[in-house]
Amino acid sequence: MTAQASPGKSRASFARRYRLFPVFRHVMLIFWASIVLFPIFWMVATSFKDSGEWVSWPPHWLPEDPTMLNYRQIFAFTASGFDEKLSREATEQAFSIWSSLRDSAVIASVSSLVSLLLGTFLAYSISRFGVGGKNFRYMILTIRMVPPIVIAIPIVMYYAILVPYATELLFSVRVSMFDTYTGLGLLYMATTLPFVIWMMLSFIDEVPYTLEHAARVMGAGRIYTLRRVVIPLVAPGMVVTFLFIFILNWSEFLLALTLTQPKVSTMPVLLNKFQSAVEGRLYGPQAAIGTVITIPVVILGVLIQKHLITGFSFGTIRK
Amino acid sequence: MAEAGRKRSAQRRGISSWLAQERVFRLIPFIMVEGLFLLLLATPFVLTVYISLLKWRANRPFEMAYFHGLGNYARVLSDTDFWWALGRTFYFAAVAVSLELLIGFFLAMLAYRQFRGRRFYITIFLIPMMVVPVVVGYNFSMIYVDSGPLNQILAPFLELFGFNPRIRWLSYPAAAQWAVILSDVWQWTSLTFLIFLSGFTALPQQLTNAARILGASRWQIFWRVHLPLLKPAIVIAVVIRSMEALKLFDQAVLLTFGGPGTATETIAFFLWRQVWQFNKYSFGAAASVVLLVLFSGLIFYGIHLLVRERAIVQEEQPL
């Protein structure tokens, strides 16, 4: 605020810079803002274009003949109930995003919720009792840093070989975890737990221990204290953490691509399916799918934006 | 567990009082989380080490695989494509992360002081982080299309020099590599911006004022006061972003599918292709073991850096 007003020396060049700096700042910031917004704008614009405008030259900046057809196509019910009138050509594949939307929503929300609960309790134990040793809170981050492909290859063999063998041996039923909600959901829990623990640690560390101590002295049980004293104080933090890992799970691609299909498929995998069809790419419906996946997450993200830094600062930046 | 304690039956009360004991209570979440990790990450990994010693491709049943010794490891280590993919991944990560750091730092420097429209800019700058990576890949593939907006913007210049403006960017190796890098920069500059922004806002005002009173120029204040104070933020940004950039997969699949040729094949994509397209399971298992060994050094070094910065900050805290 006061940094530009250097006291003492008043030089002509400085006065000029003082006046020009805000202009320069706005120019730079607007430039970057337009770079940031352009791809999103282009996607939304494409989602309202009809097939003739998708790849026309010169490209149309705005849809000249806005249509809802792309959205009506992707929201059309299952393959069998596909409305022929929505198809542009006879060869066009029938598709619908409903089942993927359901898969994504169920897997992302359930696994985020479970890992939030587990992670919060573990963060509490780490913060209050120092469970797992002094450096446990850092060591847990290693899991997050391992490239997912290194996890995916073992997991696919595990789900496809060891789990069926083991269940057949123990319960004499072949259970495959491949291509199921449980299989993918469990893995999402394992990969997001480090983030939950980290974010919740930074919230729980701020709850003064004296409060809990007072409750304990007055005769409250340990679980009662946790439920009535600690949880209400960190509830906002839990909401932020939940939304954050929900976004992570919602956009996860590699594990979903390798561990599901054909029965279960999440939204990113569905979008990829359209992309791989090189011939006759359906740009419009793809853009519509992209918009549908992106908009809710961006809104969630803008809501928790203020708190996001807590999850990323890794405790090294002072507020 | 917490709910069980509230039930009135005598047997339940016995269990709940056992659970509420100090030494038991603190370990419950730890055991659950560690159990999940053990079951879901450690066991598959042991299985992978075993499979990496077999000769097995998915075209044969698993029972017919036979022991192969260290043959797979020898094949991985002598596979030039593997090393090229690894080198390419490091090249992408280095270029992308340094661009992200520079742009993020510059933007944070412009935006950290109060001025009109600051919140608006920050909100916009943070949006890319929340966009699903698959959608980013899709968006950029639309922009690079031969009749896309990029060529439209460049058209006046290109026509001036007599080029056909409808360039197929993604069929040139160098251009495709830059496309992948730029899409990464577009998405993750928001994260470095966020980290640096919180670092800048946390700068203590007294130190800046003291330096100014002592007669330091703006340049000196920046290099001698601000930059050392920002070191934790810089370390965090470098560690987190490098770790994430080395996982690059989503954009490489959506934007270029590793092409043209193998120009944008990152290590994650290379392994995915070996296992899921060529069904070389035991090769993939050996490669993922090798990769984990190579990465674990990096991961521990990164964690070490984070821990060190954190320790420094904690020592300074009572200031």
How much is the mean pLDDT over chain A?
Answer: 79
Question: Which residues in chain A have their CB less than 8 angstroms from residue B272's CB?
Answer: 149, 152, 254, 257-258
Q: Does B277 score more than 60 pLDDT?
A: yes
Q: Do B186 and A223 touch (CB under 8 A)?
A: no
Q: Which fold has domain B74-316?
A: MetI-like fold (1.10.3720)
DSSP SS3 for B22: helix
- For chain B, what percent of residues have pLDDT higher than 90? 16
First to last CA, chain A: 19
Q: How far apart are CA A73 and CA B128, in angstroms?
A: 27
Q: Does A37 touch chain B (CB under 8 A)?
A: yes
Query: Which residue in A284, A290, A288, A306 sits closest to A51, CA to CA?
Result: A284
How far B283 CA sits from the closest chain A CA (Å)? 11
Task: Tell me which of A45-54, A146-155, B18-27, B184-193 is least confident.
Answer: B18-27
Tokens of A289: 């799918």
Task: Tell me which of A300-304, B9-13, B91-95 is least confident.
Answer: B9-13
Q: Do A149 and B272 touch (CB under 8 A)?
A: yes
Tokens of A132: 């797992």
The string of DSSP letters for chain A reads --SSS-SS---HHHHHHHHHHHHHHHHHHHHHHHHHHHHHHHHHHHHT--GGGTT-SSPPSS-SS--SHHHHHHTS--STT--GGG-SSTTPPP--SHHHHHHHHHHHHHHHHHHHHHHHHHHHHHHHH-TT-TTHHHHTHHHHHS-HHHHHHHHHHIIIIIHHHHHHHHHS-----TTSHHHHHHHHHHHHHHHHHHHHHHHHTTS-HHHHHHHHHTT--HHHHIIIIIHHHHHHHHHHHHHHHHHHHHH--HHHHHH--SS---HHHHHHHHHH--TT--HHHHHHHHHHHHHHHHHHHHHHHHHHHHHHSTT-S--
Residue of B nearest to A153 (CA): B285
Q: Does A85 score more than 80 pLDDT?
A: no
Query: Which residue in B74, B59, B47 sits closest to B278, CA to CA?
Result: B59
Q: Give A110 or A262, the one with higher predicted confidence.
A: A110
Tell whether domain A98-312 is in CATH 1.10.3720.10.
yes
Task: Tell me which of A211-215, A256-260, B146-150, B218-222 is least confident.
Answer: B146-150
Q: Does B158 score more than 60 pLDDT?
A: yes
Mutate to test the interface with B, among A134, A145, A240 (most CBs of B within 10 A): A145
Q: What pTM was computed for the model?
A: 0.84
- For chain A, what percent of residues have pLDDT higher than 90? 13
Provide the pLDDT confidence category of residue B95 given band limits of 50, 70 and 90: very high
How far A316 CA sits from the closest chain B CA (Å)? 5
How far B90 CA sits from the closest chain A CA (Å)? 13
In degrees rounded to 5, what are phi and psi of residue A280? 60, 50
Q: Give A89 or B198, the one with higher predicted confidence.
A: B198
Q: Do A145 and B303 touch (CB under 8 A)?
A: yes
How much is the mean pLDDT over chain B?
Answer: 83
How far B284 CA sits from the closest chain A CA (Å)? 7
Q: Does A310 score more than 70 pLDDT?
A: no
Q: What pLDDT score does A33 carry?
A: 93
- For chain B, what percent of residues have pLDDT higher than 70? 89
Using CB atoms, pick whichever of A154, A305, A314 lies closest to residue B306.
A314
Q: What pLDDT score does A93 carry?
A: 55
Domain residue limits, chain B:
1-44, 74-316
What interface predicted TM-score (ipTM) does this complex get?
0.83
Residues whose CB is less than 8 angstroms from the CB of residue A96 and which lie 6 or more positions away in sequence, other chains included: A74, A75, A76, A77, A78, A79, A82
Question: Which residues in chain B have their CB less than 8 angstroms from residue A124's CB?
Answer: 29
pLDDT single digits (tens) B202-213: 788 888 888 888
Tokens of B258: 């590793």
Q: What pLDDT score does A2 carry?
A: 42
Provide the pLDDT confidence category of residue A221 given band limits of 50, 70 and 90: confident
The mean pLDDT of A76-96, rounded to a whole number, is: 54
Residues whose CB is less than 8 angstroms from the CB of residue A64 and which lie 6 or more positions away in sequence, other chains included: A53
Using CB atoms, pick whichever of B33, B134, B212 lies closest to residue A118.
B33
A 147-166 residues with CB < 8 A to B: 147-158, 161-162
Domain residue limits, chain A:
12-86, 98-312
